[in-house]
Amino acid sequence: MDDCIFCKISAGEIPATVLYEDDDVIAIEDLNPQAPVHALVMPKAHYDNIVDGVPATTLASMVHAVGEVAASTGLSERGFRVIANTGSDAGQTVNHLHLHVLGGTSLGEGLIP
């Protein structure tokens, strides 16, 4: 989509701190982190949300990227949270599927981006 910020990041049109990238997905540092480690994992192809007919191979690539981010940031040893906000009532502010990967501290029950 021409006006989607995450599409522009995926295409390299907007700079971001990339934590992981392959042919299907990109993982970046969140610009407004809610935890010491806060990454966004998104497909390069545009899907509005997780129930937008996303191919299983894309979802598998996203899960793989979560693991790569967790390993490279040290979250694998401590634990982390993965969140997919779907729709405005759930707090989705960018209508491009993305997973939040949060960790680096005790998250308790109250922290939800």
Q: pTM for the full model?
A: 0.92
Could you read off the pLDDT of 52-104 as tens digits, one per residue? 999 999 999 999 999 999 999 999 988 999 999 999 999 899 999 999 999 99
CATH number at residue 35: 3.30.428.10
113 within a domain of the structure (yes/no): no
Structural domains in the chain (count): 1
Determine how β-strand 18-21 pairs with β-strand 37-43.
unpaired
111 within a domain of the structure (yes/no): no
Q: Domain span at residue 65?
A: 5-103
The CA distances from residue 42 to 9, 78, 106, 107, in Å, are 10, 23, 24, 22
Which tokens belong to 3? 């006006």
108 within a domain of the structure (yes/no): no
11 within a domain of the structure (yes/no): yes
Could you read off the pLDDT of 23-35 as tens digits, one per residue? 999 999 999 999 9
Active site residues: 98
Residue 40 pLDDT greater than 60, yes or no: yes
Residue 19 pLDDT greater than 60, yes or no: yes
Contact 44, 25 (CB under 8 A): yes
23 within a domain of the structure (yes/no): yes
Cβ atoms within 10 Å, residue 109: 5
The Cα–Cα gap between 83 and 26 comes to: 16
